[in-house]
Amino acid sequence: DTDVTIYPGLLSLTSQGELVRTLKTEKAVKADIDAAVKLLLKLKADYKQVTGQDYKAGCPPLESTVLEDTGPAAAVDGEDMVDPWNVSTTSAKGVDYDKLIVRFGSSKVDQELVDRIERVSGKKPHRFLRRGIFFSHRDMHQVLDAYEKNKSFYLYTGRGPSSEAMHVGHLIPFIFTKWLQDTFDIPLVIQLTDDEKYLWKDLSLEDCHRYAVENAKDIIACGFDVNKTFIFSDLDYMGASPDFYRNVVKIQKHVTFNQVKGIFGFGDSDCIGKIAFPAIQAAPSFSNSFPQIFKGRKDIQCLIPCAIDQDPYFRMTRDVAPRIGYPKPALLHSTFFPALQGAQTKMSASDANSSIFLTDTPKQIKNKVNKHAFSGGKDTIEEHRKYGGNPDVDVSFMYLTFFLEDDEQLDKIRQDYASGALLTGELKKRLIDTLQPMITAHQERRKQVTEEMVLKFMTPRPLDFNF
Ligand code: TRP
């Protein structure tokens, strides 16, 4: 499976260009040259229509995944499998994220970018940036260039409400999005795809909608400012906002069945709701989907923090954007939050033993970590002291990299664990001591969230920004 997908028309374009040149150098009859040039121009126009880019000899389109019709982009790469619905690998260290960057054609969040975010924002970069948890991006430099010239942007993220139970992994994009909002002081829209979950799972519409409202409470408990944040359920907002639906239809007109088949792997027996859905996840990337916030402007740049498995939706979005006259959204991608059993797969709400839920009691947290968290330690204390543990496969250590704020402490834990000075039980205790107060505090904040507050967050209204 190759990383770069070549636009099928590219080959004919290249050979047609060659033909024109040959005809000219060989001084062929004018009518033949003219006919060849005419075909070349048509191929170029087609190329631009499909890719949104001008043809340059020898350069494949930058993001051509949307044109692929040879099977899902999320195909198996060695052992790693990553698409919006599945994550698995055979490596205990987890998915090879550097390979994923190459496969998806995104860019690495390198030290230079982290330093630049620090310079531009004047704030210490969030631990998710310092530690490579938001590891990949598209167009972040462009967003920062514009921001430095006082051009604002907005944030868009989301969640598929498939049950009432949210786990700590679900908080990762929201914790980070909250930091971005505080740091850059910009509007935020949060899409709850209750429609998506209805289409994909065996759930009723009413349950999906109810989960959306329940999940909104956990999201609000992350501390978002109601004057700067709009949370919406697709089931509600699609019917309430003509501008949103107009964008959905525009996107639907510019993506073919072949293209979504290539990106998402849809087949003949998938319901047509699934095939139409990607346009609904794409639409919030365009500012005029929210006229109440952006006063009808369509040129406000969007930045989407999300887990890397959502990228297929936004590769499609970025491919469509220029063809319908909108800026491409920028992206910041996170790694997955590993399951308790190990980084071969991500935490899943449908497997109670793989997850720490936001509703777990301190005792449940303690028992789950002690009983289920995969350990990189040795079998006996003697061996562990002698050879040391392996933090790279140890789930408790991985969770600490997500949640322990202090860099020095984290580094010391890593060293002590690797040397054998720190035992598995002690490492687990550090994690339990970090998670318990964090989850308790979340539960307390969630209790403060009233129905009225949820209603306000979810009502289309202007936010505290002037566009
Ligand atoms: N499809 C996502 C999920 O199942 C939900 C989602 C919608 C989303 N829009 C988003 C996630 C934007 C991240 C960014 O969880």
Taking a C-beta distance cutoff of 8 angstroms, is the pair 167, 358 a contact? yes
Task: Tell whether the model's pLDDT for residue 56 goes beyond 90.
Answer: no
Half-sphere exposure of 175 (CA within 13 A, CB side): 19
204 class by beta-carbon count within 10 Å (0-12 exposed, 13-18 middle, 19+ buried):
exposed
For ligand 1, the distance from its centroid to the CA atom of residue 410, given in whole angstroms, is 30
Distance of CA 147 to the CA centre of its chain: 22
In tens, the pLDDT along 305-331 reads 999 999 999 999 999 999 999 999 999
- Burial string for 60-71 (b: 16+ CB within 10 Å, else e) reads ebebbbbbbeee
How would DSSP label each residue in 378-411? -SSHHHHHHH---TTT-HHHHHHHHH---HHHHH
For ligand 1, the distance from its centroid to the CA atom of residue 310, given in whole angstroms, is 7
For ligand 1, the distance from its centroid to the CA atom of residue 13, given in whole angstroms, is 37
For ligand 1, the distance from its centroid to the CA atom of residue 413, given in whole angstroms, is 34
How would DSSP label each residue in 211-255? HHHHHHHHHHTTT--TTTEEEEEHHHHHHH-HHHHHHHHHHHHTS
Q: Residues lining ligand 1, CB < 6 A?
A: 156-160, 191, 193, 196, 281, 304, 306, 310
pLDDT of the residue at 466: 92
Question: Across residues 265-287, what is the average pLDDT?
Answer: 97
Question: Across residues 268-280, what is the average pLDDT?
Answer: 97
For ligand 1, the distance from its centroid to the CA atom of residue 157, given in whole angstroms, is 6
- Residues contacting residue 104 through CB under 8 Å, at least 6 positions apart: 65, 73, 136, 308, 311, 315
Tokens 């919006």 sit on residue: 84
Taking a C-beta distance cutoff of 8 angstroms, is the pair 92, 393 a contact? yes
3-state DSSP assignment of residue 430: helix
Tokens of 30: 């004018």
Query: Which ligand 1 atom sits nearest the alpha carbon of residue 197?
Result: 4
Choice from 83, 134, 193, 331 to test ligand 1 binding pocket (greatest atom count within 8 A of CB)? 193
Residue nearest to atom 5 of ligand 1 (CA): 159
pLDDT of the residue at 250: 98
Taking a C-beta distance cutoff of 8 angstroms, is the pair 174, 219 a contact? yes
pLDDT of the residue at 47: 64
Residue type, 356: I
pLDDT of the residue at 351: 80
Tokens of 180: 């971005």
3-state DSSP assignment of residue 199: helix
Task: Tell whether the model's pLDDT for residue 182 goes beyond 50.
Answer: yes
Question: Across residues 202-225, what is the average pLDDT?
Answer: 98
Question: Across residues 428-436, what is the average pLDDT?
Answer: 98
Residue/partner pairs of 363-367 with CB below 8 Å, 24 or more apart: 365/432, 365/435, 365/436, 365/439, 366/432, 366/436
d(CA 255, CA 313): 12
For ligand 1, the distance from its centroid to the CA atom of residue 48, given in whole angstroms, is 29
Strands 342-346 and 153-159: unpaired
Taking a C-beta distance cutoff of 8 angstroms, is the pair 122, 116 a contact? no
Question: Across residues 233-241, what is the average pLDDT?
Answer: 97
More confident residue, 111 or 344: 111
In the chain, the N- to C-terminal Cα span, in Å, equals 45
- Of 295, 301, 290, 291, nearest in space to 191 by CA: 290
Residue nearest to atom 1 of ligand 1 (CA): 160
Taking a C-beta distance cutoff of 8 angstroms, is the pair 136, 100 a contact? yes
pLDDT of the residue at 191: 98
Task: Tell whether the model's pLDDT for residue 151 goes beyond 80.
Answer: yes
Residue nearest to atom 4 of ligand 1 (CA): 160
pTM: 0.84
pLDDT of the residue at 62: 41
- Burial string for 414-428 (b: 16+ CB within 10 Å, else e) reads bebbbebebbbeebb
- Residues contacting residue 145 through CB under 8 Å, at least 6 positions apart: none
For ligand 1, the distance from its centroid to the CA atom of residue 128, given in whole angstroms, is 19
- Of 190, 172, 179, 154, nearest in space to 458 by CA: 190
Is residue 204 very low, low, confident or very high in pLDDT (cuts 50, 70, 90)? very high
Question: Across residues 250-257, what is the average pLDDT?
Answer: 97
Task: Tell whether the model's pLDDT for residue 31 goes beyond 90.
Answer: no
Choice from 175, 313, 316, 333 to test ligand 1 binding pocket (greatest atom count within 8 A of CB)? 313
Is residue 172 very low, low, confident or very high in pLDDT (cuts 50, 70, 90)? very high
Task: Express as a percent the part of the chain with pLDDT over 90.
Answer: 76
pLDDT of the residue at 34: 82
Question: Across residues 400-417, what is the average pLDDT?
Answer: 98
Question: Across residues 236-263, what is the average pLDDT?
Answer: 97
Taking a C-beta distance cutoff of 8 angstroms, is the pair 154, 147 a contact? no
Residue type, 363: K
